[in-house]
A and B are shown apart, each in its own frame.
Chain A
Amino acid sequence: MLAGGTDVVPWLRDEAIAPVALIDIKAIPDLHLITDLDGSLHLGALVTFSDLLASPHVAERYPILGEMGHLVASAGVRNRATLVGNICSAVPSCDAGPVLLAYEADVHIVGPQGARDVSIADWFRGPRATALQADEIVTGMTIHPPAKSHGAAFLKLSRYEGEDLAQANLAVVMTAAHRYRIAYGAVAATPLRASAIEQLLDGHALDVDRIAAAQQLVAGEISPITDMRATKEYREHMCRVMLERGLLAAQARLNGAGPAYPARLV
């Protein structure tokens, strides 16, 4: 399937893939739509990162989608690359992963057997491996925020200010009722929810001690490796730093203050 093509075209040129046919899905009607479903958001499979950034509705109601979108690749790539493509390529450092996990998205799939939905929690199976079968196509995603009013932050650790793949990324979403959704990326085989940390924080307001306790749990939640982009040690340290910064920013934003979206918090 060819949508944005920002991964597929280089693979074709390198002869890393040799498909019998390439199906350009960009003409399929309605897949490019962003639809408000009153409390949730539907993104068609052809929604690009630029579409996301241009949507005032997304900016107002789901601001970390934009905070994440700004940090993906370059404008030239964002004008073509789709969120669905990002999660179908499913590299462990994909930026959409933690945000969609934190928003508990459902992935809508169509295949010869009919239509099915896969929760984002079950979507990522391993590096570059997803729940999608070879004869299926993703038609879109639905995003479920915890409440209309929520505070959130997306953080992306990279090697400098310019475009980069994440050494580690983090999405934090919290509500006034002290419900937390925290998801890390690039620090395990797939993006993951930090459920132990969420459990620790659940129902509680944030304070210095609670954040410190949450940071103690980081090492147990993630399994970073040392690769060309960062060492295990650095990733682990930074995941703790990012957690604190993310929680504080999300909390401040929930209360109508905090750094304006989109921010670079790390």
Chain B
Amino acid sequence: MKHEITLTVNGETLPVDVSPNDVLLDTLRTQVGVKSPKIGCERGDCGSCTVLLDGANVRSCLILAIEVDGHHITTVEGLSNDGLSALQEELIAASSFQCGFCAPGIVLVAAELLEHDPEPTRDQVREAISGNLCRCTGYDPIVDAVLALAEREGSDS
């Protein structure tokens, strides 16, 4: 049986028909058409399904769509559609990512970190992205870019 719920995705409020069993990750990808959250493990282990729910990072593979009726979801498309964020520009300039499959999730959690703490330590950045598995990069190039950005923005202000 379908229920109509209301989701605000990247600033746009829209009605979505869901069954109670529908997982948020699948709803976002197949019904809303937002592809950046990825299917990596469907068990909450890898973080490639990460979205921001009301600003806090969650595993969208562990949430039923119906649970987030009326809530706000941000994906990396939401960071990109008004022009790239400074964080995204930095990660591009530093060539931090390789295959890019983990990138949407990591960009979101890094953005969330910088929102709460504009001058994180290296350990804080590592901790913040520790829930997102990346098989390619060895993480350092991502951490370095986030820190470089924080330092530059910090010294600008």
A-side residues, CB < 8 A to B, are 2, 5-6, 9-10, 12-13, 22, 24, 26, 50, 73-77, 79-80, 162-163
B-side residues, CB < 8 A to A, are 20-21, 23, 42-45, 47, 50, 53, 56-59, 61-64, 66-67, 109, 128, 130-131
| Across-interface contacts of B64 in A (CB, < 8 A) | 2, 5, 9, 12, 22
Among B21, B53, B57, B62, which residue has the most Cβ atoms of chain A within 10 A?
B62
Q: How far is the CA of A74 from the CA of B126 in the complex (A)?
A: 12
| Across-interface contacts of B42 in A (CB, < 8 A) | 10, 13
Q: How far is the CA of A105 from the CA of B109 in the complex (A)?
A: 34
Q: How far is the CA of A76 from the CA of B58 in the complex (A)?
A: 4
Q: How far is the CA of A10 from the CA of B45 in the complex (A)?
A: 11
A79 touches B131 (CB 8 A): no
Query: Given that A6-B44, A13-B23 are contacting pairs, would A77 and B131 also be in contact in the complex, using a CB cutoff of 8 Å?
Result: yes
A74 touches B23 (CB 8 A): no
Chain A nearest CB: distance from B58 CB in Å?
5
Can you name 21 A-B residue pairings with CB atoms under 8 Å?
A: A5-B62, A5-B63, A5-B64, A9-B62, A10-B44, A12-B64, A13-B23, A13-B42, A22-B64, A24-B67, A73-B44, A75-B128, A75-B130, A76-B50, A76-B58, A76-B59, A76-B109, A77-B59, A77-B131, A79-B58, A80-B58
| Across-interface contacts of B53 in A (CB, < 8 A) | 79
Interface SS, B side: mixed
B130 touches A22 (CB 8 A): no
Q: How far is the CA of A13 from the CA of B20 in the complex (A)?
A: 11
Among A76, A77, A80, A163, which residue has the most Cβ atoms of chain B within 10 A?
A76
| Across-interface contacts of B128 in A (CB, < 8 A) | 75
| Across-interface contacts of B109 in A (CB, < 8 A) | 75-76
Q: How far is the CA of A79 from the CA of B109 in the complex (A)?
A: 12
Given contacts A9-B63, A10-B62, A80-B62, 15 further A-B contacts (CB under 8 A): A9-B61, A9-B64, A10-B44, A13-B42, A22-B64, A50-B56, A73-B131, A74-B47, A75-B57, A76-B58, A76-B59, A77-B59, A79-B58, A80-B58, A80-B63
Chain B nearest CB: distance from A200 CB in Å?
37
| Across-interface contacts of A76 in B (CB, < 8 A) | 44, 47, 50, 57-59, 109, 131
> CB < 8 Å: which of B20, B56, B61 contacts A79?
B56
A12 touches B44 (CB 8 A): no
B20's closest neighbor in chain A, by CB? A22
> CB < 8 Å: which of B21, B57, B130 contacts A163?
B130
| Across-interface contacts of B21 in A (CB, < 8 A) | 12-13
Chain A nearest CB: distance from B101 CB in Å?
16
B131 touches A74 (CB 8 A): yes
| Across-interface contacts of A10 in B (CB, < 8 A) | 42-44, 62
| Across-interface contacts of B56 in A (CB, < 8 A) | 50, 79
| Across-interface contacts of B44 in A (CB, < 8 A) | 6, 10, 73-74, 76-77
A74 touches B130 (CB 8 A): yes
Q: How far is the CA of A75 from the CA of B20 in the complex (A)?
A: 25
Q: How far is the CA of A265 from the CA of B21 in the complex (A)?
A: 41
A22's closest neighbor in chain B, by CB? B20
Q: How far is the CA of A175 from the CA of B131 in the complex (A)?
A: 35
Chain B nearest CB: distance from A263 CB in Å?
13
B42's closest neighbor in chain A, by CB? A13
Q: How far is the CA of A25 from the CA of B130 in the complex (A)?
A: 30
| Across-interface contacts of A75 in B (CB, < 8 A) | 57, 109, 128, 130-131
| Across-interface contacts of A24 in B (CB, < 8 A) | 66-67
Q: How far is the CA of A86 from the CA of B20 in the complex (A)?
A: 23
A77's closest neighbor in chain B, by CB? B44
Q: How far is the CA of A5 from the CA of B45 in the complex (A)?
A: 14
| Across-interface contacts of B20 in A (CB, < 8 A) | 22
Q: How far is the CA of A260 from the CA of B17 in the complex (A)?
A: 49
| Across-interface contacts of A162 in B (CB, < 8 A) | 130
Chain A nearest CB: distance from B128 CB in Å?
7
Q: How far is the CA of A32 from the CA of B47 in the complex (A)?
A: 25
